[in-house]
Structure 1
């Protein structure tokens, strides 16, 4: 029996739809299966709408500091419904954009929920269609891009109900900003929502079980972020373990243990942001013999699962759970299928937290490098010594660089401050090109820009810093 398609992609998030586009570019007859909305969680319920909310929060917060710039405005206020509506409009616009891209590349979109059954040369895809009924389709290659979702803990009350306990999804469409918010988890998702709601005036408390917030970041950045967020009025309980969450008509009570002492925190709403679970259920993976570890599909570096014709990419395969990593995975996977030799399989993956201040990093932290036995040279440069930052009133934060002392290679970069999420790609590019301190020090950075702090941090690692 002839195949219906060359490639079927299951899931249309940043991994899935990018993979489908690249597949079509390579000449494959391609279909994509989506059970909810094109663009997946990132575009509809994650990356994009949260940034729209954060932008509204940042603008509102900045209005409170107009006097610092010799300006004034009266009656600062916000319409929460319009703030939420704007974020949904942004998501809707991009959702439509993905639909246009599917049509442009002649990718067939099959709306429904997929499951896999044994077949050849790849598993058969059976779709329970949104419109009703089923459709079975066959391809030479099937790529799973089903993503992941928030981990919940119903046994201690950390389970969303849409009213008193939210995950990121419920937090994107509330009817009003809570007066008192408790955020469980201080990773990027938890910190971003804490930052947004604090900007609108909510009392915010963040609980983290590990010894420091943003635990995947460099320790110096983590400490600086903690202090910066506290200055904005965000409270922290670190380290602390959540024992139980209890709901009531008035709000939530979260019982924690911190420093050996029991404490109960009161809030109107709690957000659960304490981990990720891969979307592997009801796909038929176990029957096919697909290996799954800790709710994530196990693959090799090409995305192959070990089952003939079946691949997996993005969040469903494990950390880092990042949209750009999923897209990167997908392009490599389909190019491998096409017989190409994709480059950059192990390119460094930057991570960003879009809070106020922002946090961005790529590569190894100083502690990770030392743990690997690498002798390092470390450079730092504060934004308070950067002309553009001073002029913009954005002097909080710094840039930190980590070099291999033996080879001079840049192996890590860590930043906290205004718009550092827009600057980290410079270091990512340098690492991808295997730049050493010599190339970075010789690069001409435009003046005045905040990016000059990147140059100074590279100089500082070798005792050549100019403006301190």
Structure 2
């Protein structure tokens, strides 16, 4: 095949990669994007989007199932529901398919050329792509590495058979009767909660003293309480040792040093993700690394001139929206614009039940950085909208400097709270103070009033508590 020459080559069509390529095309840059799988990357195909679809379906099913048991509070009753899980998965897959097509269409509209295949570096300017028609050589002035991340595999529990990653969990043909989730972080609990609502007997095994150890205990406790309500067994300070002799159960070392065996149809290992830095000749570039990640500066430039890196391959937080922001910025820098990474905070959301949203510093993190702070929370037990949703668990919490009341962080936990993440982020990016939040009229009745009331409380004059 004839070689391709371009100004920009993007390796990886995940959220960061396709955003970078689309923005480059909008700016008139001759761009090519290479992807071995479907456009959209992990997030669209086997991560964020399909998992949220499954979570929504599980929530709908559990709501009807509760009504079948008689929801006395709401006065609703119905027949016991049935689940056609194949149709659920087909619905999820159709959403992914439509979004795949949308990304492909956006790339085409921006004038980006797409090459399907696996890329491998020859040098800092040349990449070979293994396509179905043979090897395609691409020469580029600038290359952006956006290869993403992959699930971490435990040596004692290699993937295969009963042992699955989140990828296989989202493609199961049926709901497992027994599911063990190894890892009580956000991925494990999102999927574990969904399968519990769909009828699976779920056990969570977490090595840390509590679930969601990346969040403070105040935020994780409502999730832990909800798991108990759903009948999920949670083993903390516990370690997965491997399968038993016949491979039908997981052997777990418990907190007291003893051992227990948990039978399961599937064992979902969700102990984190690692950057995808192998298999495409990265070692030929001899880039500076930051541990397992590619080291970048505040413009996403690597140690090699003309080579950028964005997204999960560059480190934490490994979030799709961080990658997208980096991709847009990198494209504009390549186009000659003056840009640098100067974001105050990146929102993080845990789509458990209830949902957790964090932006900026927690109280502990703020104190560790030497700030004297004012922090208060407003519980949803005092929020009219939460009560009308029949879910009053959770709260909104503000963290501000004690001297000038500038916001350092906003966190919350509650049903549907993910939709407040934009408001939380905007407040921090705009440099808002507690007074700015307090003097902003918040619509009633909404969960967003929790932010207003938390700010009022810190200022000493909360109205509804």
The whole-number CA distance in structure 2 between the counterparts of 1:393 and 1:135 is 58
What residue is the counterpart of 2:209 in the other structure?
Answer: 211
Instruction: Tell me what 2:111 maps to.
Output: 106
> In structure 1, what is the equivalent of residue 279 of structure 2?
282
Unaligned runs of 5+ in 1: none
Q: Is the 8 A contact 1:31 1:110 kept in 2?
A: yes
1:41-440 aligned at under 5 Å gives the runs 41-66=42-67, 67=71, 68-118=73-123, 122-129=124-131, 131-154=132-155, 156=156, 158-161=157-160, 163-246=161-244, 248=246, 251-342=248-339, 345-440=342-437
CA distance in 1 between counterparts of 2:244 and 2:318 reads 30
Matched, 1:13 2:14: yes
Indicate how the Cα distance of structure 1 residues 196 and 204 shifts in structure 2: closer, same or farther if over 3 A, else same. same
* 1:406 to partner: Cα distance: 2.1
Give the superposed CA RMSD: 1.6
CA shift at 1:275, angstroms? 1.3
Aligned equivalents of 1:283, 1:394: Cα separation in 2: 48
1:413, CA displacement in angstroms?
1.4
How far apart, in 2, do the equivalents of 1:261 and 1:24 lie?
59
1:5 Cα deviation from its structure 2 partner:
1.0
TM-score by length of 2: 0.95
What's the secondary structure of 1:4's corresponding residue? strand
**Residue 379 of structure 1 contacts residue 462 of structure 1 at CA under 8 Å; is this kept in 2?**
no
Instruction: State the 1:105 CA deviation.
Output: 0.8
Normalised by the size of structure 1, how large is the TM-score? 0.95
Other-structure match for 1:40: 41
CA distance in 1, matches of 2:4, 2:300: 21
Secondary structure, aligned partner of 1:65 = helix
8 Å contact kept, 1:218–1:414: no
Q: Which runs of 5+ in 2 are unaligned?
A: none
- CA distance in 2 between partners of 1:247 and 1:255 (Å): 13
SS at the partner of 2:43? helix
| Count of aligned residue pairs for this structure pair | 459
Give 1:223 deviation, angstroms.
Answer: 2.2
Q: Distance in 2 between matches of 1:79 and 1:219?
A: 37
Deviation at 1:257, TM superposition (A): 3.4
- In the alignment, the residues of structure 2 paired with residue 175 and residue 188 of structure 1 have an alpha-carbon distance, to the nearest angstrom, of 23
Distance 1:27 1:193 in 2: 41
CA separation of 1:428/1:116 partners in 2, compared to 1, >3 Å: closer, same or farther? same
Give the deviation of 1:247 after TM superposition. 7.0
Moved over 4 A (4+): none
> Could you list the per-position Cα deviations for residues 330-385 of structure 1 after superposition, in whole angstroms to 9, with x for gaps in the alignment?
11222222222236632311111112211111111111111111111111111111
CA displacement 1:115-152 (0-9 Å, x = unmatched): 1122xxx42111111x2311111111100000001000
Distance 1:29 1:272 in 2: 41
Give the drift of 1:179: 1.1
